[in-house]
Amino acid sequence: MRPRGRPSSAAAKCVLLAGAALAVLWAGSAAAQTRAFRPPPPPPPVPDGLQPGELYMEADQIVRDDEHHIATAEGSVEIRYQDRTLRADRVVYQQGETPGQGVIRAIGHVQIINADGTYEFADTFVLDDKMRAGVAEGFSARLQENIKLAGATAVRRSEDLQELNRAIYTPCPICANNHAETPTWSVSAERIVQDKVHRVIYYRHAVIRVKGLPILYLPVFWHADPSADRASGLLGPRLEVSNRRGFSYEQPYLFVLSPYADLVLSPQLNTKVNPFLNGRFRERFYSGDMDVRFGYTHDQDFDGNGNRFGSNTSRSYILARGGFQLNDAWRWGFTAEHTSDPLLFDKYQIGDVYQTRGPYIPDDRRLISQVYAVRQDQQSYFSTAAMTFQGLRAGDIDRTFPVVAPLVEARYDVPEQVLGGRLRVNGSAVALTRSQSPTNLAANLPGLDSRRATAEVDWRGAYTSSSGLRVEPFVNARADGYSLGDVLTGVGAQTTSKSLGRGLAVVGADITYPLYRRWRDATVILEPVAQIAISPKAKQVVIGHDATGAPIYLNEDSVAFEFDESNLFRANKFPGYDLYEDGTRLNLGGRASVLWDDGRRADLLIGRSFRASRNTVFPTTSGLQTRASDWIVAADARPFTWLSFFARARLDSANLSVHRAEAGANVANKWGSGFVRYLRDDSNVPGPTLVGTTVIPAASRIENFEMGGDVPVGKHWGFTAYGNRDLIQKAWVMRDIGVYYRDDCTRVDVIYRREDIVIGRLGPTDSVALRLTLATLGSPFTVR
């Protein structure tokens, strides 16, 4: 193809002559359309500036043979028609016997640029006069996602069907620095068919090559067209060798049921145990969508070494979610999560189990089924829900988990200011029913049932003085009503019921005085913060007494309580409703920030809480029972664009010993990326649990270290690493190390992983995984 420049005046004349010649050739059909129909209003122009049916051509020279109805254009020919562009050294157009049956012959450096941005190249091209069907020699094409197709010959049967002979397919670069380069991977075949209607590329006698070396021969092979959003067909298989299931082969197949629904069936074949069928169904509706994962087998149970025991039985799981928008204000949805075996996901290597599928989220290794409805606008919020839980941890007994039905929450913000501040009205109600008490698992005592209704009024104002002092007064008043059933009396399994009501209130103010100053290229902000809150003595809900006679308070919604920087300046530090902080307290702290002009920053918070008297409602390990609380320290910084870190801690009020500490750092630059995390928590002391007939004692402390990273070596190679170590048990929970190769179209990972013993799981395992990802060929191909 010769370099293209601005056409000369002679060339411009040729353009006009070419337009006239083609107008003569097309005059017959145009006249017929004019006689047969009244001309419609002119449609809007297409992106190339031409009206539908119009044609534009330019060339250095045009020769017209009126006797034989042939027009020949030579020299930098360019034709635009119906949003397609044809370029060639020479183009010959011969009119057919009937309108619309002409033939275009393009010779020399032929290019066709389609409306979707794809390119086609050939030495010669014979096309119909719509440029939709034809035959080419020395053909190649560049499709979406930089896909390349090439063949000795090509037959374009229609706009949507194209065949190549002695062809090759690859998404990889095939030239670098103007030199030919062997693609990282390619598929060569005796015949390749691109079917745009069914959005599939078919191969006959296909050979998959890596760096030019043949690694796999397939008599018949197909995959989705890169232009297709999705199409039915095989997805990447998964292979694994383990002492649990022996050799395992899983082959997913995608069924596209409609433009809005699909189904993936993925049978898993194992040498040691029976097959397992995984599936996933997805469908999108006008108002929302639904996603359902499921699995089933009929087999005996087996341990970590694949030893089978027990009787054959059905084993299954379901992980489903759906969300729907009824109108601008209302939406509803559901999740359904259940498994017949707590270790089923570990036994059959089922991933992505513990994900957020709805508004209510359970703890790790626990499943939740819920149905909910939400209404929300600018002034109000209302939600109602019902849910159940399934525990998969060692010692979890589902009968001790409550059935929550219903859970109602409501909020209304008065649009106008009231007494110069914001007024909000809140409402809440919940009913919890459980079959067994979690306090004494071996005794199998009746479980506590509770029902609560709450109404609350919250007012907050804000005033700022001319000197910058900011005062935010607040008032909160609340009324609770409780109805309790199956309350243990302390005598065997005897129970009682009770109903009670209470009123709660708090009044106080937040006081801040931010100070700032410019220092070189940074802004320094110092902000002392104080909060004073006064409440009358709260009536806590007592459901029993322990062996020492101390009261046991109802606590359904503040079990996972942690005193940290997030609730230091909350008037009521309990996140739920059952427990309430009362008395007179003063929360003090100071914030400091340094903000550099180039985006760097550093923040520090130090604070603690003071009380007029002790408060034994807080747990003993919370750091809040004494008159002066533990110290709260939190800091985070980004000293460089490639480095950030954080640290937070709770220090003992008497000797500054560490009760809880969490720290971490993140690094990301051209040399690699990585992270480190450290956690120590003395306050996490779960109660004893029962596993079979064995009671597991309470844990004394959690101390954990986690790290991971990705370090590239050169342009294509790199290393990955991950580790999670339990510092109390002095053992690694999990660690892996890997090496990878990647380029524009391929990624190969080889990963060694070691999982150590975890209570309630299948025991230690070692694995070496090979993962091969080929661009445009679906999901990764994994070998373990």
Residue 328 has pLDDT above 70, yes or no: yes
Note the Cα 777 to chain centre separation in Å. Answer: 21
Residue 173: its pLDDT value, please?
77
Average pLDDT for residues 125-130, to the nearest whole number? Answer: 78
Q: Cα separation of 202 and 556, whole Å? A: 60
The amino acid at residue 619 is P
What is the tens place of the pLDDT at every residue in 167-198? 888 888 776 555 567 788 888 889 888 887 77
* DSSP type of residue 597: T
The residue whose two tokens read 């910084």 is 637
Residue 143: its pLDDT value, please?
77
Residue 42: its pLDDT value, please?
43
Q: Cα separation of 781 and 180, whole Å? A: 28
Residue 133 has pLDDT above 80, yes or no: no
Q: Does the predicted model carry a pTM greater than 0.85?
A: no
More confident residue, 535 or 217: 535
What is the tens place of the pLDDT at every residue in 254-278? 898 998 999 999 999 999 999 999 9
Residue 176: its pLDDT value, please?
57
What is the tens place of the pLDDT at every residue in 72-81? 888 888 888 7
141 phi/psi in degrees, rounded to 5? -150, 150
636 phi/psi in degrees, rounded to 5? -150, 155
What is the tens place of the pLDDT at every residue in 443-472? 888 999 999 999 999 999 999 999 999 999
Q: What is the DSSP string of 477-518?
A: EEEEEEEEEEEE-SSTT-EEEEEEEEEEEEEEEEEE--EEEE
> E-strand spans in 181-270?
185-195, 200-210, 213-224, 233-234, 238-242, 246-250, 253-258, 261-270
Helices 27-36 & 9-25 angle (0-180, nearest 10)? 50
- 406: preceding bond cis by omega (within 30 degrees): yes
Lowest average pLDDT, out of 508-522, 711-725, 763-777, goes to: 763-777
What is the tens place of the pLDDT at every residue in 280-325? 999 999 999 999 999 999 999 888 778 888 899 999 999 999 999 9
What is the tens place of the pLDDT at every residue in 626-671? 999 999 999 999 999 999 999 999 999 989 999 999 999 999 998 9
Average pLDDT for residues 591-604, to the nearest whole number? Answer: 95
Residue 246: its pLDDT value, please?
84
Secondary structure of residue 23 in the 3-state scheme:
helix
Residue 678 has pLDDT above 90, yes or no: yes
- Indicate if the alpha-carbon torsion angle 699, 702, 707, 708 is positive or negative: positive
> With contact defined as beta carbons under 8 Å apart, do 280 and 291 qualify?
yes
Average pLDDT for residues 21-29, to the nearest whole number? Answer: 30
Neighbouring residues of 668: CB distance < 8 A, sequence distance ≥ 6: 642, 674
Lowest average pLDDT, out of 58-72, 304-318, 355-369, goes to: 58-72
What is the tens place of the pLDDT at every residue in 205-248? 988 887 788 888 889 887 777 666 666 777 777 777 777 888 88
Q: Cα separation of 385 and 408, whole Å? A: 7
Q: How confident is the model at residue 708 (pLDDT cuts 50, 70, 90)?
A: very high
Note the Cα 187 to chain centre separation in Å. Answer: 32
Residue 768: its pLDDT value, please?
73
Q: Which of 232, 267, 263 is nearest to 249 (CA)?
A: 267
Residue 687: its pLDDT value, please?
45
More confident residue, 3 or 359: 359
Q: How confident is the model at residue 54 (pLDDT cuts 50, 70, 90)?
A: confident
Residue 689 has pLDDT above 80, yes or no: no
Residue 698 has pLDDT above 70, yes or no: no
HSE-CB of 696 using CA atoms within 13 angstroms? 15
Residue 18 has pLDDT above 80, yes or no: no
Residue 784: its pLDDT value, please?
40
Residue 610: its pLDDT value, please?
96
Residue 8: its pLDDT value, please?
39
